[in-house]
Amino acid sequence: MNITQRFLKYISFHTTSDENTGLTPSTPGQMVFSKYLAEELAAIGMKEISLDDKGYLMATLPANCNKDVPTIGFIAHVDTSPEMSGENIQARIVENYDGKDILLNKKEQIVLETSVFPEILQYKGQDIIVTDGTTLLGADDKAGIAEIVTAMEYLIEHPEIKHGKVRIAFTPDEEIGQGAHHFNVEKFGAEWAYTMDGGQIGELEYENFNAASAKITFNGLNVHPGYAKDKMINSILIANKYIAMLPADETPAETEGYEGFYHLLAIEGGIEKTSLTYIIRDHDHKQFLFRKKHMQELVEKINTTYGPGTATIELKDQYYNMREKVEPVMHIVDGAAEAMKEVGITPIIKPIRGGTDGSQLSFKGLPCPNIFAGGHNFHGRFEYLPIQSMEKATQVIIHIIKNLAK
């Protein structure tokens, strides 16, 4: 099975995660897919295959050289984002892409436009996997899984390539921030690892956001509107004032690079009670702390204006910037960059404007930079994946492993 066939098989599994179930894995399809992967790993000759009751799949490529080579790992996640349907994905391959807009769905008139997504033009002449515009594609992160499995299969079939022990793992629920929660670092037994969970070809990341969630609840008082003078307290309007007090230019749509933001995810409620759900993101730890404090101070300001208990806030830290854990072992980033250069890729070293299992794993004692998986426009209908990027990612994995044994 080649890597394209492998990827197309993987996306046939419905593995959308769901943060509301309270289970691990959060949805049954993830375990179904992981069981399939366990069988496939056994078929290609991997060893020490284990799948626990929480959906964490691990396996070993045994060393075939006598040198003292560090054990390293490669990790990807089996779930897809709940932001868009990942069920019944209808993918097709646009061969020898001509650089024009791509009609994804004639009936719905869904078009992947180059004016909106100009990054696709760099793949002119390549073969690109797209959706029919009604689902996401699942390259995040089934491309990463396909690349890891294909690299392992290649090394097993080519024993002349000497290497140390390699561990691989496929985790559940990364998309809802829980992928590393039950990851057993000691059992995994690697000195460091790489998540194959980045975007475009060349991406190499060892910095990510510090992240927290915030839920602010506003309490009002409902009175018949005809007799509401000096009595009604409309919690929706108070929530709106809170939103307006946050800086309008510090949202995802207004920021880039190292700039942090406040992101309003959801509004729910009525006159008596309204809740706002935010996520807070910043690469700088001090600025991250400031953002959390600022949101708390605005709640206090609301309570000063409208009375005690009008607003409450619940803050939860989600993950932290892995930079501080990776910088002391920067050779693991340098090794990945060198492997990319060897296969003709220019490394794009930049901060992740998001999170990855690698951030939590780094703080658990497993330094874990992130390498490109090749896809673009994750979590939406315009997601696409150049096949040649998947092939290059597979080569990068092989070269990292091979170079370590030299």
Domain boundaries, position 196 = 3-207+321-404
* Count of domains forming the chain: 2
| Cα 149 to Cα 21, 154, 190, distances in angstroms | 30, 9, 18
Catalytic-residue membership of 174: yes
In this structure, are 315 and 329 located in the same domain? no
* Same-domain pairing of 315 and 281: yes
Q: Which of 141, 153, 174, 357 is catalytic?
A: 174
379 in the same domain as 350: yes
Based on the fold, state whether residues 37 and 118 are members of the same structural domain: yes
Catalytic residue among 79, 147, 357, 383: 79
Q: Output the CA torsion sign for 173, 176, 181, 187.
A: positive
124 and 50 inside one domain: yes
CATH code, 262: 3.30.70.360
- The pLDDT of residue 164 is 96
Q: At 354, which amino acid appears?
A: G
Boundary of a domain, candidates 259, 289, 319: 319
Global pTM value: 0.88
Token output for 238: 């108070």
Q: What is the pLDDT of residue 406?
A: 86
Domain boundary among 262, 286, 319: 319
Distance CA 353, CA 335 (A): 23
Q: 375 and 313 in one domain? A: no
What is the pLDDT, as a whole number, of residue 370? 95
Residue 370 β-bridge partners: 195, 205
* 87 has catalytic annotation: no
Do 336 and 222 belong to one domain?
Answer: no
Same domain, 392 and 255: no
Same domain, 309 and 327: no
Query: What gap in Å lies between CA 255 and CA 260, rounded to an integer?
Result: 7
The pair of structure tokens assigned to 197 is 């969970």
The tokens describing 387, both together, are 């096949």
Question: Which pairing describes strands 47-51 and 128-130: parallel, antiparallel, or unpaired?
Answer: unpaired
Amino acid, single-letter form, for residue 323: R
Low-confidence residues in the chain, pLDDT < 50: none
Residues 8 and 130 in one domain: yes
**Claim to verify: residue 59 and residue 190 sit in the same structural domain:** yes
Q: What amino acid is encoded at 72 in this protein?
A: I
Residue by residue, what is the 3-state secondary structure of 293-361?
HHHHHHHHHHHHHHCCCCEEEEEEEEECCCHHHHHHHCHHHHHHHHHHHHCCCCCEECCCCCCCHHHHH
pLDDT value, residue 175: 93
pLDDT attached to residue 355:
77
Domain C-terminal end among 254, 285, 319: 319
The answer to whether residues 18 and 125 belong to one domain is yes
Q: Tens digit of pLDDT for each residue in 245-284?
A: 999 999 999 999 999 999 999 999 999 999 999 999 999 9
CATH number at residue 390: 3.40.630.10
pLDDT digit string (tens) for 43-63?
999 999 999 999 999 999 999
